[in-house]
Amino acid sequence: MRILGGNDSKLFYLVVGKNIKKYRDIRNFSLQVLAEKIGLTKKTIQRYETGEIKIDMDRISDIANALNVRIDSLLEGAYEFLGLSVNDLQMVSLPIVGKVSCGAGALALEEIEGYEQTPKSWLNGGEYFYTRAQGDSMINARIHDGDLVLIRKQSDVDDGEIAAVVIDDHIFLKRVYKRDGTIILQSENNLYPPKVYNSNDVGTCFIVGKLKKVVVNY
């Protein structure tokens, strides 16, 4: 891994800052509007944009989310200019999955639409993937159609947690409750009644992961 010198470091933050300002202008956000979306002061955003102060990857991620752009867009020209790799910035590439199948006891991730660069700080052991929310059944949990959601692969979740559940090979997000050998899938929209599955439905309905983060709808 390359260690940034003083000049390299300043150039890196300057390029990131210019990208922040570019997309803020595209979104027609004032400094104040962007600051409020992230919970910072207008002055802090301004200092980020001028490269006056350092900005860590978690904060870059927050700003990308607020601006409705990929993290890569804010890093464009920064790590490349300095000769850094994605790993140097502590990022990992994760697949965006449209379908999951289960055969011979192993999960197969299918219909990969692409890959998303993800801060390693979002990950805490285990395997992860992204999928896109479908429809409006989870809107009361602030999950909207097309939102990109980060999933940690696991076959069970605690009662009441939101899970990625496979029903007939397709992935849905539902709040999961377990009662007397049954699994209850609850939507976060009163227009949709809960769905109930029992042990005989294992091949039709099963949990593949836990919701860790709603990223952005772009």
The model's pLDDT over 107-127, given as tens digits with 9 standing for 90+, comes to 667 778 888 878 777 888 888
- Name 170's bridge partners: 99, 167
- pTM equals 0.60
Q: How buried is 159 (Cβ within 10 angstroms: 0-12 exposed, 13-18 middle, 19+ buried)?
A: exposed
Domain containing residue 41: 6-89
130 plus 35 within the same structural domain: no
Q: Which helix (H) or strand (E) holds 36?
A: helix 31-38
AA letter at 55: I
CATH number at residue 70: 1.10.260.40
Number of domains in the chain: 2
60 plus 137 within the same structural domain: no
Q: Is residue 1 part of a domain?
A: no
61 is annotated as an active-site residue: no
CATH number at residue 131: 2.10.109.10
105 plus 211 within the same structural domain: yes
128 plus 191 within the same structural domain: yes
50 plus 98 within the same structural domain: no
* 175 within 8 A of 160, measured Cβ to Cβ: yes
Neighbours of 39 (CB within 10 A): 8
Q: Is residue 109 part of a domain?
A: yes
Where is the domain boundary, 52, 74, 89? 89
82 plus 98 within the same structural domain: no
Where is the domain boundary, 89, 120, 154? 89
- Tokens 């700003």 label which residue? 63
83 plus 101 within the same structural domain: no
* 195 within 8 A of 153, measured Cβ to Cβ: no
Q: Which helix (H) or strand (E) holds 12?
A: helix 6-26
| Nearest alpha-carbon partner for 150 in 23, 60, 61 | 61
68 plus 169 within the same structural domain: no
211 plus 172 within the same structural domain: yes
Question: Per-residue confidence of the chain (218 residues) as pLDDT tens digits?
Answer: 333 334 456 777 888 899 999 999 999 999 999 999 999 999 999 999 988 888 887 888 889 889 988 887 888 877 655 554 444 556 788 888 887 766 655 666 777 888 887 877 788 888 899 998 888 999 999 888 888 899 999 989 999 999 999 887 788 899 999 888 888 999 999 999 998 888 666 567 888 899 998 875 54
- Tokens 């285990």 label which residue? 126
* Catalytic hit among 30, 101, 137, 178: 137
48 plus 72 within the same structural domain: yes
101 is annotated as an active-site residue: no
* Catalytic hit among 174, 178, 199, 213: 174
Instruction: Give residues with Cβ within 8 angstroms of 43, minimum separation 6.
Output: none
